[in-house]
Amino acid sequence: MTRRLEGKRAIVVGGGQTPGTTTGNGRAVALTFAREGADILVVDRVLESAEETAELVRKEGGTAAAHRADITSEADCAGIMDAALEALGHVDILHNNVGIVPAGRTEDLPVERWRQGFEVNLTGMWLTCKAVLPHMRERGTGTIVNISSMAGLLAGGETIAYSTSKAAVHALTRNLALEYAPHGVRVNCVAPGMMDTPMGVDATARAGGVERAEVAARRAAMVPMGHQGTSWDVANAALFLASEEAAFVTGVVLTVDGGFTLNAVAQ
């Protein structure tokens, strides 16, 4: 490791883990940031899951604390900032990783599910940013990395709510980047593609009642590079955007998809 985040303090929202699944994006980011020198506050809706990630960081010699929050609650998001100041002293990096997939076509999708998708995928992300940005603005420095999806760049009848909410995350990222650039704050976004993660593979297999291996093989066949990515690919992209190597990068949507979106456009 090159210790690219040495001395930095980072909040990783959605840093927990579904038990018994492959490593998800949030946990991979927390571990990668810690390995690169950052102190971490792991935030998750399930405290035990956040604590498990924090303990993994500590076992590797890093510094981490855990905090429970529901990002659809403005009070909980304000509490994230309070907890970060107590545990870390200040905040250099905010990483937003929470998301759900409200599947269904327009005529079949309940309005409650549509609203829930936007509450979690968009409004919750805006609320965490809203809670942390005054601190970053006052310090004159900071970086935010939002996790979106290649779905925000494409269209699909079964994922209209998901795709639309993720496209809105891209717009949120660009607007925050423009608004806070004069204050020394950078805001960027990673848009993963076909990833071998709990949300990408495990949840799809459960929903379809099929074997995990079948889902993984089907997804891999859709990628021009011939295989799915992993949470570590997402974490490495987030690391670049959070680091000083990206000091002149703001407002970008970085696709990490093995060429999937290129293939989709070509078709």
Q: Which domain holds residue 132?
A: 9-193+229-257
Rounded Cα distance between 242 and 219, Å, is 29
Is 205 part of any domain? no
Q: Is 180 a catalytic residue?
A: no
- Whether 214 is covered by a domain: the verdict is no
Coil, helix or strand at residue 258? coil
Query: Is position 124 within any domain?
Result: yes
Distance, CA of 134 to CA of 152 (rounded, Å): 28
User: What CATH number did the domain enclosing 241 receive?
Assistant: 3.40.50.720
CA 127 to chain CA centroid, nearest Å: 14
pLDDT of residue 116: 96
Distance from C-alpha of 168 to C-alpha of 160, rounded to nearest angstrom: 12
> How many domains does the chain contain in total?
1
CA dist., res. 247 & res. 125, Å (int): 22
The residue among 7, 3, 88 whose CA lies nearest residue 43 is 88
Q: Where are the alpha helices (DSSP H) in 36-159?
A: 47-59, 74-88, 111-118, 124-139
Query: What are the tens digits of pLDDT across the range 226-265?
Result: 999 999 999 999 999 999 999 999 999 999 999 999 876 5
Look up the pTM and report it: 0.93
User: Which among 162, 187, 219, 253 is annotated as catalytic?
Assistant: 162
Per residue in 98-113, pLDDT tens? 999 888 899 999 999 9
Q: What is the pLDDT of residue 20?
A: 63
